Structure 1
Amino acid sequence: MGFIENIFVILLLISVSCFFSMSEIALAAARKIRLRQLADEGNERAAKVLELQAHPGNFFTVVQIGLNAVAIMGGIVGESAFTPHIMALLQGVVPDHWLSKVSFLLSFLLVTSLFILLADLMPKRIAMAMPERVAMRLVGAITLCITVLRPLVWLFNALANGLFRMLRIPTERNDAITEDDIYAVMDAGAEAGVLDKGEQQMMENVFEMQSVPVTSAMTARESLVFFRQNDTEDDIKRKITQDPHNQFLVCDGLLDSIKGYVNSTDVLIRLISGQPLNLKDNSLVRSCPIIPDTLSLSEALDYFRNNRVDFAVVMNEYALVIGVVTFKDLQSAVMGSWVLAEGEEQIVARDASSWLVDGVTPITDVMRAFGIDSFPQSQNYETIAGFIMFMLRKIPRRTDFVVYAGYKFEVVDIDSYKVDQLLVTRVEQPPLS
């Protein structure tokens, strides 16, 4: 063959190698979620790509056969195409005893460079940039190659599978999506600007609902306002005025002796119409929904939805009331600062390295806010105040503190033995010796 014919053959081999290189990267990098979406919309090519990804053995065998065959043929053709012309150019410049070797080396470098640039780097970068589109464009030709080379594919696959079994190496990848994968996707979306920080936090909260106890979102026992059955109208009016709520528990003296609850709207209607308020009247006092403190946020939300209620009393195993949780509380636990009014934030930054934290802030919110992976034995407490008590092994006093994970957690306000507020300060880690 002449020089022109050799150049044409080399370009043809580069094109074939380019096809196999693009196919290999595109099929490996194509996202199954995106392909499934396209297949569900009726895209037949996406369905074929998914089928190849499910059984990639035949495809990768064809690719390797094609790439190796092209590489060998390219070396043979390239040497015969360029070496004579390079020898002619170097005649008289390079000593005769070195001429053939130098010409062969330069010819080899030229052909190799062409294949690396045009048949490897460029097509693979294109395939990485848009893997689904490239895979769907080439899937027909790939399927044809698999059909034509089926005997060779079967032979090499059988040999490879035998070696894999002998070495006990798995041949199928695990495509199950884990919780860590979803978190990684959300982090990538936040870094790319697709999600803002509030959306990312809300989505993470949704995934944590199954593991976070309902007690982390409730209003604690000591903050509850309730009616006693023997309260007078003046007592009821005073409590509603001082602490306006939609519902009020009705108890027989003690909080743990719950008789039901009243709706503040019903109380208001009776007051306006001049009817007497009798908290022993069954037409006014309704049956109270009660849930155990062992439920998670997700289970509590299911309870609210199934029973069509918007609040519930939380009781422990000793039938003691430990708090009340509302639908708004659960909503706040999921959506975070999106549903909090100004001034309700539980973690408030004072400056770049210190924060004021409410004692009842759930430990999961503290972990997220300060980038702390875990707290020691966190199953023993639910709030940052509980963490302080657990670490100190006593009822905290003002100025007591705990240093953990590069932060100093200092008690700054106590309300009747209750840790009301903490000052969290970033501290310098001691240098490693």
Structure 2
Amino acid sequence: MSDWTAIALLVVLLIGNAFFVAGEFAIMSTRRSQIEPLADSGNKRAKITLYAMEHVSLMLATCQLGITVCSLLILNVSEPALHHLVAGPLEHFGIPLAVADIVGFLLALVVVTYLHVIFGEMVPKNATVSLVGQGIALWIAPPLVFISRLLKPIVVALNWLADHTLRLMKIEPKSEVSSTFTLDELQNVVAESTAEGTVEDDSGVLSGALEFSEKKVEEIMVARDSIMTLKFPCTPADVEKAVAQTGFSRFVVEDSKDSTFMGYLHVKDVLSFSDERMHQTLPWSKLRQMSIVRPEADIDDALATMQRNRAHVSHVMTAQGESVGVLFLEDILEQLVGEIKDKTQEHVRRREAASVRAAGS
């Protein structure tokens, strides 16, 4: 083989090494959520890329085999040619053969190492990581899958040995790229994306949704001694009076004898009563039932309970049956979307503000 043929082969091997390095990083860095919509729309490259991501251990075995073979051939093929190209001119200038051989070998080693590390490893790695978001895996995965099928007996054997070695080390091998995030990872993604301006979350809906499941009922419930209640028996007039005084639309009803929570009333429950019936006692059947939740329950579980029972108010009780408070649906929603400004309570806020100013004067 001539020296220049060896140099040309060096370039080919560097390209091959770069391809396998890029394939390794492309398969590991690409998310299924990026590829699946394209595959569902019929994109053939996307379907092959999904196959590669679902057989990641085989793809990595193919890449490692390709990188190893290319790396070994790069040194064996190119070193003699570069050595000869350097040592020959040195001998021509009268440098002793032994010295020329050593200098030629060292220069060849430095050049090959530089080309291999920079163009065979670092450039493809950095380029692939930078272009993952633009779908570079769609172009790398199809030829990589084709090569893996050509070399299937070797690749499967190597992968089998690697998997069993891992199992001996008490490590369970994975055959598919992980496409899930933990809650903490999602929160970090939202925080970083918001900081970089790629996601807008001025209202805090995204961050609130991610923090939603971390909250407990006891953190957002209204304590029992802070609840505005109605005593049973009560009348429609009592409900209207409470609405006028507080601006609230729902009221927990408690037994006037033992203060047991019996249910709750909504203002619209008394709107249909005529003037003649406004001072008549409301029947017990008019009370809406409250669902029961534990103070230590997650609020997303409490929300699911309220949805099943079609209740806007839940009675918070301990496992021992102690009543500790009430959870309103509005309080849960505010954890998700932020404070809800209720126009019906605006006059209450103005009155409270006026009272504070009067007390200060």
Query: What's the % identity of the aligned pairs?
Result: 23
Larger RCO: 1 or 2 (CA < 8 Å, sep 6+): 2
CA distance in 1, matches of 2:28, 2:117: 20
The farther-off stretch of 34-43 and 122-131 is 34-43
Does residue 28 of structure 2 align to residue 28 of structure 1?
Answer: yes
Does residue 204 of structure 2 align to residue 201 of structure 1?
Answer: no
Question: Counterpart of 2:219?
Answer: 216
CA distance in 2, matches of 1:56, 1:120: 20
Change (3 A) 1:305 1:57: closer
Change (3 A) 1:108 1:288: same
Question: Counterpart of 2:145?
Answer: 143
Q: How does 1:29-108 map to 2 (within 5 A)?
A: 29-90=29-90, 91-92=92-93, 94-108=95-109
CA distance in 1, matches of 2:95, 2:118: 28
1:245 corresponds, among 241, 245, 248, to 248
CA distance in 2, matches of 1:315, 1:164: 49
Change (3 A) 1:255 1:321: farther
CA distance in 2, matches of 1:321, 1:170: 48
CA contact (8 A) 2:208 2:336 kept: yes
CA distance in 1, matches of 2:311, 2:287: 11
CA contact (8 A) 1:164 1:170 kept: yes
Q: How does 1:4-23 map to 2 (within 5 A)?
A: 4-23=4-23
Question: Counterpart of 1:308?
Answer: 310
CA contact (8 A) 1:256 1:320 kept: no
Paired residue type of 1:60: L
Where does the alignment leave 5 or more consecutive residues of structure 2 unmatched? 346-361
Change (3 A) 1:78 1:301: same
Paired residue type of 1:15: I
Question: Counterpart of 1:109?
Answer: 110
Q: Offset of 1:145 from its aligned partner?
A: 1.5
Question: Counterpart of 1:326?
Answer: 328
CA distance in 2, matches of 1:262, 1:160: 66
Q: Offset of 1:141 from its aligned partner?
A: 1.5
CA contact (8 A) 1:247 1:262 kept: yes
2:229 corresponds, among 211, 226, 236, to 226
Count of equivalent residues: 336
CA distance in 1, matches of 2:234, 2:157: 89
The farther-off stretch of 164-173 and 199-208 is 164-173
Paired residue type of 1:124: K
Question: Counterpart of 1:275?
Answer: 276
Q: How does 1:377-392 map to 2 (within 5 A)?
A: none
Change (3 A) 1:331 1:96: same
CA distance in 2, matches of 1:292, 1:153: 58
Q: Offset of 1:102 from its aligned partner?
A: 0.3
Deviations 1:195-225 (A, max 9, x none): 537234312233325xx12x43233222333
Q: How does 1:173-184 map to 2 (within 5 A)?
A: 175=178, 177-184=181-188
CA distance in 1, matches of 2:138, 2:30: 9
Paired residue type of 1:68: T
CA contact (8 A) 1:190 1:200 kept: no
CA distance in 2, matches of 1:321, 1:228: 17
Instruction: Pick the structure with more helix per residue.
Output: 2
Change (3 A) 1:39 1:253: same
CA distance in 2, matches of 1:53, 1:152: 20
Structure 1 SS opposite 2:213 = helix
CA contact (8 A) 1:227 1:250 kept: yes
Structure 2 SS opposite 1:208 = coil
RMSD (Å), alpha carbons: 3.5
Structure 2 SS opposite 1:325 = strand
Deviations 1:41-78 (A, max 9, x none): 33333333333333334333332332222222222332
Does residue 288 of structure 2 align to residue 288 of structure 1?
Answer: yes
Structure 2 SS opposite 1:130 = helix
Deviations 1:106-132 (A, max 9, x none): 122112212222221111111112237
Deviations 1:74-102 (A, max 9, x none): 22332233223323443438554411110
Which TM-score applies when normalising by structure 2?
Answer: 0.77
CA distance in 2, matches of 1:277, 1:313: 28
CA contact (8 A) 1:229 1:279 kept: no
Q: How does 1:389-408 map to 2 (within 5 A)?
A: none
CA distance in 2, matches of 1:327, 1:234: 25
CA contact (8 A) 1:312 1:326 kept: yes
Paired residue type of 1:48: I
Structure 2 SS opposite 1:50 = helix
Structure 2 SS opposite 1:275 = helix
CA distance in 1, matches of 2:320, 2:2: 96
CA distance in 2, matches of 1:66, 1:274: 88
Paired residue type of 1:256: S
CA contact (8 A) 2:46 2:138 kept: yes
Q: Offset of 1:308 from its aligned partner?
A: 3.1
Structure 1 SS opposite 2:136 = helix
CA distance in 2, matches of 1:130, 1:7: 30
CA contact (8 A) 2:269 2:286 kept: no
Paired residue type of 2:149: T
Which TM-score applies when normalising by structure 1?
Answer: 0.65
Paired residue type of 1:22: A
CA contact (8 A) 1:233 1:277 kept: yes
Change (3 A) 1:325 1:60: closer
Q: Offset of 1:232 from its aligned partner?
A: 8.3
Change (3 A) 1:231 1:100: closer
